[in-house]
Amino acid sequence: MLDLTLLGSGGGMPMPNRHLSSMIIGYEGRKILIDCGEGTQVAMRKVRSGFRAIDIICISHYHGDHIFGLPGLLSTIGNSDRKKPITIIGPVGLKKIMEGLLVSHAYLPYKINLIEAAKRDIGFRMSSGILQENIEDEKNEIIFSTLKLNHSSPCLGYSLYLPRNPKFYPEKAIDSGIPKQMWSKLQNGEEVHHEGKIYKPDMVLGEDRKGIKLSFVTDTRPTDTIPAFIEGSDLFVCEGTYGDNADIKKAIKNKHMTFKEAADLANEGKVKELLLTHFSPAMDNPSIFGSNARSIFKNTILGYDGYKRILNYD
């Protein structure tokens, strides 16, 4: 199960009724933060999401509306007596950016691990709250993937996938005479050797089952690579900077998207639901333009600060 809260649904500049881009995801008591615009701490206080359990921070790009909340948040986490390392992922240039942002923080009581992911599209697994590459056969851990986007600065999209074990059939284990104490290992995909016999997972497991997939894409123009990246997402969180189709020239110039373009991507990617966010300050009421997306992709949600969602296995 993944639970997520949209902390800020705005882009460009903070508004009285809208914080800047940020989303927090909960998984087994740990937290993952995607983007950290100005006001993120205030938004977290409003929804009582907590911040001490944040293990991973994913930054889409280095425009201020996505990162200016980061120095203050890291300081507050430090004041909470946090000792465990935090991993920050971002496009190329992350080290230089972090050096600048943290110039006023000479000391933090925890280590920050930096991962520049824009030089190549990468995949990680989260094991015990720590991101690691090349972990083989980890079960029930989140798999992270990144995608280069098309914005006015290096920018990443993120995909989080929580695998699901095949269904376990106890009756198969009983029929095969497998001792009960071996069941859990087989259920986790491990081969078991016991009293000269070899028991394999396929003796007690069914077919592979779909896991939970969450994709996050902002800020960017539509690209040919996005549909495959988001394919099959249970929830596709996408920028909708411009609601009006007439604003397409602005979207192209500023390398953003309209509601219609986001909906087209949702259709192509065969996602279950689309959550629009990152609304322009000039768009005071995004719901006015909701039909521009829903006429193309019916299952469209217009995001707002504090929007909560739980993603469960089907």
Q: What is the pLDDT of residues 180-229, one digit of tens each?
A: 888 888 887 788 887 788 888 888 888 888 899 999 999 999 999 999 99
Nearest Cα neighbor of 148 from 94, 87, 221 is 221
Residue 208: predicted pLDDT: 80
CB atoms within 10 A of CB 216: 26
Which is it for strands 30-34 and 54-58: parallel, antiparallel or unpaired?
parallel
**d(Cα 24, Cα 57) in Å, to the nearest integer?**
9
CB-based contact 69:20 (threshold 8 Å): yes
Tokens 């859990």 locate to 184
**d(Cα 149, Cα 306) in Å, to the nearest integer?**
26
Nearest Cα neighbor of 247 from 215, 275, 294, 288 is 288
Active site residues: 65
Residue 66: predicted pLDDT: 97
**d(Cα 226, Cα 268) in Å, to the nearest integer?**
9
What is the pTM assigned to this prediction? 0.87
Domains in the chain, start-ordered, CATH in brackets?
2-166+207-311 (3.60.15.10), 170-202 (no CATH)
Tokens 């106890």 locate to 170
**What are the mean pLDDT values of the chain's consecutive 10-residue runs (314 residues total)?**
96 93 92 95 94 93 96 94 92 94 88 77 50 47 88 95 86 86 84 84 85 96 97 98 97 98 98 98 96 98 97 87
Residue 189: predicted pLDDT: 79
31 forms beta bridges with 26, 54
Question: Using H for helix, E for strand and C for coil, what is the string for 197-225?
Answer: EEECHHHCECCCEEEEEEEEECCCCCCCC
Tokens 């609601």 locate to 243
Find all residues with CB under 8 Å of 82, minimum gap 6, and list them. Answer: 52, 109, 110
CA gyration radius for the chain?
Answer: 21
Residue 131: predicted pLDDT: 54
Token pair, residue 147, equals 């995608």
Residue 125: predicted pLDDT: 56
Token pair, residue 214, equals 């969450």
**d(Cα 61, Cα 89) in Å, to the nearest integer?**
10
CB atoms within 10 A of CB 210: 12
**d(Cα 135, Cα 28) in Å, to the nearest integer?**
19
